[in-house]
């Protein structure tokens, strides 16, 4: 439906297409309570029979004013709040926030802390992708992968629990490094997990990759071209599935990602199946990164010298990381006091969700479900 060579002018997202013949346009309100909208997303669908003529997202049901809260907490106190945005990838949120504040403070976390951060962040990417895979497959009707992925995600959460006591909203990192040294046997357990998990990726792929129905349901569904991706600011696996080899871990390495050897998996078609393949390949790459990080984990302190009361000099920083869902950016303005003057979070889910309308035009209701799933949105992050 979308011409890949088109300019921006075709992105006319306001006027829906006309229904065929004189059939009545059916307006369906999907959500905010709906099993497949991954939270409290409300989508108003305009249908011609089952064909989607246009849709409008209504968001904000989970708005908690995270940015406002940030202005009223000290830098340290705000750290746990960011975990509550993308709660399935809480570690990544924390990583982005801590690094941004470190940049404001002009400190850098010690190498050991950097390595542990990479390990935990990549484990988090695995957990996030697992959750995505399970729920996405469930939306398309395959109920079994959900239980497989949750069984394996449990192992990751156990490592988190042992490390910091929390499983979901971990608050694992501190500004300037880590609060805790790793527990005894951390490396061994991570290694055990990797050797346990590698065949599990094959298991997921065995269930889905060549499954005829899966392929038919996802191929050529929700196509978005690279050009449209960039125009709409869509990042993460969705962008890579459209053929843009762009990953912040490579493009503008943060933490110590430049020390690791990994590939950026890409696909060309930009459909749901390609996004699935990209995410599966990303899981394998994450395993590779974690492997290298565990192997090269240096000894040393885990906390840099940071003042007890943080008063970053006045200034402003935009720093972004490659969260499992795309570019997660923090824009922090400091006025020299203990509290940030302004915290802006650039949530990947929020921006990616804009593409839903474009991706669903002309498709069927069932595809809307598939596309919502493949965008991998977390409403906690969309609404903040």
Which 190-229 positions form the footprint of another protein (CB under 8 A)?
207-208, 211, 213-214, 216-217, 228
Give the number of residues in contact with another protein, rule: CB under 8 A: 80
Q: Interface residues for another protein in 313-352 (CB under 8 A)?
A: 315-318, 320, 327, 329, 331, 333, 341-342, 344, 346, 350-351
Q: Interface residues for another protein in 232-251 (CB under 8 A)?
A: 232-234, 244, 246, 251
Q: Is the dihedral of CA 234, 237, 242, 248 positive or negative?
A: positive
**Contact between residue 290 and residue 257 where contact means Cβ atoms under 8 Å apart:** no
Q: Which is nearer to another protein, 291 or 357 (CB)?
A: 357
3-state secondary structure of 168: coil
**259, burial (CB in 10 Å: exposed 0-12, middle 13-18, buried 19+):** middle
- Name the one range near another protein by CB under 8 A: 31-39, 164-172, 190-198, 291-299: 31-39
Q: Which is nearer to another protein, 35 or 165 (CB)?
A: 35
Q: Interface residues for another protein in 35-64 (CB under 8 A)?
A: 35-36, 49-50, 59-60, 63
Q: Is the dihedral of CA 76, 78, 84, 90 positive or negative?
A: negative
Please report the DSSP string for 220-289 in residue order.
TSS---HHHHHHTT--THHHHHTT----HHHHS--TTGGGS-------SS-SHHHHHHHHHHHHHHHHHH
Q: Quick check: 104 binds another protein (CB under 8 A)? A: yes
Q: How far is the CB of 189 from another protein (least distance, A)?
A: 21
Q: How far is the CB of 93 from another protein (least distance, A)?
A: 16
**Contact between residue 299 and residue 306 where contact means Cβ atoms under 8 Å apart:** no
Q: Quick check: 134 binds another protein (CB under 8 A)? A: no
**Contact between residue 30 and residue 366 where contact means Cβ atoms under 8 Å apart:** no
Cα(280)–Cα(286) distance, integer angstroms: 10
Q: Quick check: 8 binds another protein (CB under 8 A)? A: yes
Q: How far is the CB of 377 from another protein (least distance, A)?
A: 13
Q: How far is the CB of 59 from another protein (least distance, A)?
A: 7
Q: Which is nearer to another protein, 52 or 294 (CB)?
A: 52
């Amino acid at each position: 439906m979308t011409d890949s060579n088109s300019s921006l002018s075709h992105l006319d997202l306001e006027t829906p297409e006309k229904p065929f013949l004189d059939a009545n346009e059916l307006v369906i309100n999907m959500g905010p309570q709906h099993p497949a909208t991954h939270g409290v997303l409300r989508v108003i669908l305009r249908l011609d029979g089952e064909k989607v003529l246009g849709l409008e997202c209504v968001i904000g049901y989970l708005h908690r004013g995270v940015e406002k809260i940030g202005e009223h907490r000290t830098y340290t106190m705000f750290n746990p709040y960011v975990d509550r945005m993308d709660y399935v990838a809480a570690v990544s949120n924390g990583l982005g926030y801590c690094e941004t504040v470190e940049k404001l403070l002009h400190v850098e976390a010690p190498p050991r802390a950097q390595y542990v951060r990479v390990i935990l962040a990549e484990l988090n990417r695995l957990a996030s992708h697992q959750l995505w895979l399970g729920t996405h497959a469930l939306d398309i009707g395959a109920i079994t992968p959900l239980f497989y992925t949750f069984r394996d995600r449990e192992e990751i959460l156990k490592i988190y629990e042992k490390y910091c006591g929390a499983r979901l909203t971990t608050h694992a990192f501190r500004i300037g490094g880590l609060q805790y040294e790793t527990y005894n046997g951390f490396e061994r357990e991570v290694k055990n997990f990797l050797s346990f998990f590698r065949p599990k990726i094959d298991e997921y792929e065995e269930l889905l990759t060549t499954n005829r129905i899966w392929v038919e349901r996802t191929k050529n569904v929700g196509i978005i071209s690279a050009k449209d991706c960039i125009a709409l600011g869509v990042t993460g696996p969705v962008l890579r599935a459209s053929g843009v080899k762009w990953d912040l871990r490579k493009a503008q390495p943060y933490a110590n990602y430049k020390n690791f050897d990994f590939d950026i998996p890409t696909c060309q078609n930009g459909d749901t199946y390609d996004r699935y393949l990209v995410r599966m390949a990303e899981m394998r790459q994450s395993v590779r990164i974690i492997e290298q990080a565990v192997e090269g984990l240096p000894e040393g302190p885990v906390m840099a010298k940071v003042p007890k009361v943080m008063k970053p000099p006045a200034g402003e920083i935009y720093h972004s990381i490659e969260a499992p869902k795309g570019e997660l950016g923090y824009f922090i303005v400091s006025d020299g006091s203990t509290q940030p003057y302004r915290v802006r979070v650039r949530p990947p889910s929020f921006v990616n969700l804009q593409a839903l309308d474009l991706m669903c035009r002309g498709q069927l209701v069932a595809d809307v479900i598939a596309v919502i799933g493949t965008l991998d949105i977390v409403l906690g992050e969309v609404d903040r």
